[in-house]
Chain A
């Protein structure tokens, strides 16, 4: 088992590089404390850890939704630290929040057309069509408002909305939370398809086993910074991880 040493995870051109990041909701009260992490192009990285470890705050800080007080966020080497969330999205980082991730009074079609608005006019229709192809259940209900969709359908819509602009990196905050096991399987399958399309994925997940089953690597966060980073299989079989950070099952 390797400790979360910056030098061990850094490569020449990571898709997403987080350097000594300090972020939080109140000035002077950081939740993320000098976090350093590299995410390699095309991989699925599972962010694990106990409640309050700062996993979701780290994702939200990268996405531009939480105040960054120090450190850097680099996307393919470009500094995107502190940019407004819409700029971060336009630069190539998608984000799927855990809750309130759809507009309940808007139709599926409205969601996708809105997400396509930042693309060049000529590319919009093709991307919307591509998302309907990837998510056929959404295509069948495209006039339905999101408020009438099931939890699983909403999660699919949130995924489709985030994938539509073809992000280089997609951040997902507990995508399986509150979903039935069969729906969770579908969510993981879609994420695997997204990875196959070349998207780099960072997934915050409470369900360690499920996350490590599809992830390439796992990162265990404790007290606002990565404590352990290792291949998923290694973490999944680690009694130390289960006992120390995730609670033995």
Chain B
């Protein structure tokens, strides 16, 4: 690639704006997706948390300075859930786009393919932010609030975690041959990622039952996404979690660029004969 001139910066920005606008328009038009994205964590917050609250005792653990209710504990986890589902939804739409042909329009744009794929990931992350802050607004109605600075401090972390989950989703979509296979793969990704994490219960609580499971939870990148968000909401840094999230983002993004086969949809639809 030649040097990046002012004109080419504008060109790159224009392409990102194109992808972001398209993803946003699609999201707005898919109202069901928005409501599902909000209802899912709200059910956890309002219904499940009520039951779990009595069963789980939470001690004071960082970043909390005092005893907290279970509802307060799981909000970062539910934010992670929103981004996790959004990342997977984005990857599903990418498989759909590939099957329907619209990925070809993107991938025949005369810009580096790695950049175009990064645009898709970034646009998905931005869309997830709308959902996260809408959820936080509703959570506030239930009395779960953070400091104004906490909401702001969480933003860059949410961008990072959204990018990581989007990159993982894109990597998965690059490995899926047909749309029909997607649901199965998701079942083996979303649920283990969510339940084997610190989203619903602290890892120390998990360790009381099983060291092995607690170790798995500790290794799960989604755990680190949740913890990074949790600490940011309380104006604290979680360096290890941030490093893990950034590392997984780079790894998943790199693997996607290396492994993405733009001709896959072409061959799937045309068959090897054409």
Partners in one complex: no
